Structure 1
Amino acid sequence: MPKPTEGLPLDDGTHTDSIDQPASDRGHWFHFNVGTVVLRRLQQAAGDHPGSVEVVGFARRLPDTTQAPYAGCEWHALDIGTDEGRAALTAALEGVDAVVHLAWAIQPNRNEGAMHRTNVTGTANALQATADASVRHFVCASLVGA
């Protein structure tokens, strides 16, 4: 199947970048990262509706916040695969309306423990933190391989 060199187009005409992902309904491959697509769209909504949308990100390793799409977002470093990470996430989610959980690992597939910690424990911790903080909406995306 051919793989286009361009990424998935966004509403503003820009393209994303990162991983190859099949779009089976079209029979083509697109090159994109779900997290950056969601982040760009939320930032667009924040720009379209000033004061109504605030974007807060969580990552084990903080991104370069001087670069798009990471600029303009409040970032917290935490590891959702740990009890400490779950506690920090719970505190940070107080007053939040919705959580979009996109943390998954498909590598290193030779280390099932590390993948379980991210995919299973991390998702369980994100769900628990969301419930403990009384957040009403939780959106979770995963990979078949995760």
Structure 2
Amino acid sequence: MRIVITGASGNVGTALLRALPAEHDVVGVVRRPPSAQGVYERVDWRSLDLTDPDAIPKLRNVFDEADAVVHLAWGFQPTHDVDYLNRLGVGGTSAVLQAAHTSGVGQLIHMSSVGTYAGGSYGQRVDESWPTTGIDSSPYSRDKSAAEAILDEYEERLGSSAIPIARMRPGFIVQRAAASGLMRYGLPGYVPMQLVPWLPVLPLDRNLCIPLIHADDVAAAIVLAVERRATGPFNLAGEPPMGRDDVAAALGARAVHVPAGVLGALVDLTWRTRLQHIDRGWLDLAFSVPLLDCSRARTELEWAPKWTAQEALADLLEGVADSAHTTSPPLRRRSVVDLLRRDLTDGLISSRRLP
């Protein structure tokens, strides 16, 4: 098969490259192609920014004769430029869909998220019929919801003429190889990531309960969806869900209850004053998203996670302690000195467009 993957060098993309059988012809669409080594060596890389005005005709050229397009590309930073993140996430999804339809690709796999779901069922499991209207205070959630609305409108308008679309709705995705990238997105440049596993105290609301999943399990579900030409939405999560005390235990830290509202105000203040990179929407998301009923994936894809949620978090934290990374631009390791230098010369990661 000829499989085109947008965002192929990121967290899920890297795991997917490990999971795809060697006989497939893989094309990767990214802004900054990685060096052709390791897992990235098998890929025919194409440099393309989904926010470019001419992205659609460029994508059509890449999608020509593709059996499947896996759309993973998304932006998590800069959180201080939500218009750009919207153009990348929502506009990029629209561009990929238009190009895929015009090119007549065999199937589109869209990476959605638990963040697409509405609130109102925190700590309870929902299936794929739960409303996908998102969490309004989270720009990430709003954009995930808007991207799915584009797919809804397309399928309703074209009916049987629409290309087959599968939507993956995983919980929060982690893995060892993404440790450097994830920490760079979340930690200020002046905080060495290796300090995270040594936190003595975890100040967090005791009610935390979130779905977590290892990137390898998400990749396995995507491979199954491609092989079976599956359509429709699929919830994906490791078990059991992660609570505050589970996170504290993984860190070896003492859990201290801090109400989500108080912590949210602190997060908002430090984000607005540029002291750290994460906007309050991410905290609101963590205390609003439901847990996931994954029965449909288990039944229709015969999928089951190989990693428990606790094992997935432990894998990430081991990677954090070891500064685990890959050679791709989103996931490569950067020193504190390099991070601070870029903050001074290029602007903070929460403001610049190439994190």
| TM-score, normalised by the number of residues in structure 2 | 0.29
Larger radius of gyration: 2
Which of 85, 89, 100 is residue 130 of structure 1 equivalent to? Answer: 100
Displacement, 1:34? Answer: 0.9
2:41 aligned partner, one-letter code: A
Question: Which of the pair is proportionally richer in helix?
Answer: 2
**Is 1:95 aligned with 2:65?**
yes
Deviations 1:84-142 (A, max 9, x none): 22211101111110000000112111101110111010110011111010002000113
1:57 aligned partner, one-letter code: G
- Residue aligning to 2:40: 70
Higher relative contact order (CA 8 A, sep 6+): 2
Q: How does 1:113-128 map to 2 (within 5 A)?
A: 113-128=83-98
Which of 50, 54, 60 is residue 31 of structure 2 equivalent to? Answer: 60
Deviations 1:28-72 (A, max 9, x none): xxxxx2111111112xx12xxx4xx1001010111111x221101
- Give the SS at the match of 2:42: coil
Unaligned runs of 5+ in 1: 1-17, 20-32
| TM-score, normalised by the number of residues in structure 1 | 0.68
2:19 aligned partner, one-letter code: R
| Mapped partners of 2:55, 2:38: distance in 1 | 26
- Residue aligning to 1:5: none
- Give the SS at the match of 1:61: coil
Unaligned runs of 5+ in 2: 1-8, 116-139, 144-355
- Residue aligning to 2:54: 84
Q: How does 1:96-111 map to 2 (within 5 A)?
A: 96-111=66-81
Between the aligned residues of both structures, percent identity stands at: 37
- Residue aligning to 2:12: 34
Superposed structure 1 runs of 4+ greater than 4 Å apart: none
